[in-house]
Amino acid sequence: MKLSRTVICGENFDPVPKIIHQTWKTDRIPDAWKPYQASWLRAHPGWQYVLWTDEANRRLIAERYPWFLPVYEAFPREIQRVDAARYFILYTHGGVYADLDCECVKPLDPLMARGGAIVSRTRDGVIDCAVIASSANHPFWQLVFRRMQTPTFVARLLGSVRYEASHVLFTTGTRMLNGVVREYRRHATVTGASGLTIYAPRFFSGRSWLDRYEPFDDPEAFVRHHYADSWLRPREQRVHRWFTKRAARWATGLLLGAVSVLIATC
């Protein structure tokens, strides 16, 4: 199988260990997500599987990375601690991290073959953090740790507004990770640092925020992200879903309008 439309930085690729990591508050995950959890086990027989709880996440930080514990505990929302923990988990153990609302369609072995650190983009160009992977001790995560310790001006500014979901994205989520990928790629160009592979959206079903509720249409996808948005508060979920669907309708209307004008002038 040819995995085209990828971006690879550097040439130092250590193997990705055959470990699947997922996180939840406790060891009892919601019934709605159990089929997705089972899909990872079914697609990867022989791989180690670890479900990390909030308690286990904190223990990892406290015991292995106590210098980060003040930042970890100061995050205003639990999802920020969960986001941070996934990066430390991969740095410590390596392997594949997947959100519980992600369904594995087929084994990830072909995508993991290059080793190093592995991420993907959504269709709107953002680095996704729902499924990420790496070898242990990969230097990419060191930049992530530094960015979480010293957030950007935009991230700090968003911390002062009521819609805190954006603050999460810019401090520990996709927007933060997007900035670190840019920084790492600049660094790798100069130093030849160890590998970072950025897969095209179709491999991880990286739908954009405008089409995230549409049917899956990526025949090459290894993963389907179902976007449960469980980390959003109820008010944020309502705003987000209303805006997403309304924006999609606006975009469709504008596109149809442009096509109509073009046809009329031909």
Tokens of 27: 């060891």
Among 145-149, 150-154, 228-232, 258-262, which is the least confidently predicted range? 258-262
What's the pLDDT at 19?
98
The 10s digit of each residue's pLDDT in 208-222 is: 666 666 767 778 889
Query: At CA 98, angle to CA 95 and CA 102, rounded to 5?
Result: 150
Assign 186 a pLDDT band (cuts: 50, 70, 90): confident
| Residue extents of the structural domains in the chain | 7-230, 232-266
**Thinking of the domain 7-230, which architecture would CATH place it in?**
Alpha-Beta Complex (3.90)
Phi and psi dihedrals of 93, rounded to 5?
A: -110, -20
For strand 196-199 and strand 7-9, is the pairing parallel, antiparallel, or unpaired?
Answer: antiparallel
Long-range interactions of 237-242: CB distance < 8 A, separation 24+: 239/163, 240/165, 241/213
pLDDT band at 11; cut points 50, 70, 90: low
- pLDDT-derived band of residue 266, with 50, 70 and 90 as boundaries? very low
Tens of pLDDT, residue by residue over 154-181, are 655 655 565 466 677 788 888 899 999 9
Rounded CA-CA distance 249/129 in Å is 26
Of 64, 232, 86, 227, give the one whose Cα is nearest residue 148. Answer: 86
Specify the pLDDT at position 150.
Answer: 81
- At 167, which helix (H) or strand (E)? helix 164-171
The region, left, alpha or beta by phi > 0 then psi within -120 to 50, assigned to residue 136 is beta
**pLDDT recorded at residue 164:** 65
